[in-house]
Amino acid sequence: MTMQEIVELVRDWDGVFVLTPGPGDGPPEVAWGDSFFYYAPDGKMPTRTQPFATIVTKNYPEDELSGLDRDGVYRVNIHPSRASFEHWAARAGDDLSVLDRIIVHPVYGQLGWVAVLNPGPETAETARELLREAYEQARIRYERRH
């Protein structure tokens, strides 16, 4: 499962706003080339909400444990339901740099986020399901607020 396949999958869902910043877009350089997925049915960049999922392609400050400085490695970060988080957290190992395994997010795990580096044969379908669940959770939160 490539980054582009993930972006195309999620972009097709109703109300999704995808931000993939680059030079001159405003976000800091460290975010360039990464993708941030929001539920925003008005088609505008939300200002008061967090994304429901992201794809990161490099280490961020204080987030180096996944080793995203390795060639071709990226991490899909997903904020699923509490039940799904607990399910996957109970099965996750300690190696936060392993490819194609569901892990607890190295920084946002305490907030209920999971992640997978380079989803492949072992995790692609689960990643799709978790992304869809995170989208549904974001849609529900949006509808509650509006």
How many Å from the N-terminal Cα to the C-terminal Cα in the chain?
A: 34
**Global pTM value:** 0.96
| Residue 46 falls inside a structural domain | yes
Structure tokens at 50: 């967090």
Model pLDDT for residues 60-103, shown as the tens digit of each residue? 999 999 999 999 999 999 999 999 999 999 999 999 999 999 99
| Residue 76 falls inside a structural domain | no
Q: Is 144 exposed, middle or buried (0-12, 13-18, 19+ CB in 10 A)?
A: exposed
> Residue 31: what are its φ and ψ, rounded to 5°?
-85, -10
Structurally, the chain folds into a number of domains equal to 1
What is the extent of the structural domain holding 20? 3-71+98-145
| Residue 83 falls inside a structural domain | no
| Residue 78 falls inside a structural domain | no
| Residue 87 falls inside a structural domain | no
Model pLDDT for residues 93-135, shown as the tens digit of each residue? 999 999 999 999 999 999 999 999 999 999 999 999 999 999 9
| Residue 85 falls inside a structural domain | no
- For every residue of 89-113, DSSP letters joined together read HHH--S-TT-BSSEEE-TTTGGGT-
Model pLDDT for residues 24-50, shown as the tens digit of each residue? 888 888 999 999 999 999 999 998 899
* pLDDT for position 26: 84
| Residue 140 falls inside a structural domain | yes
| Residue 138 falls inside a structural domain | yes
- Give the containing element (helix H, strand E) for 114: strand 114-117
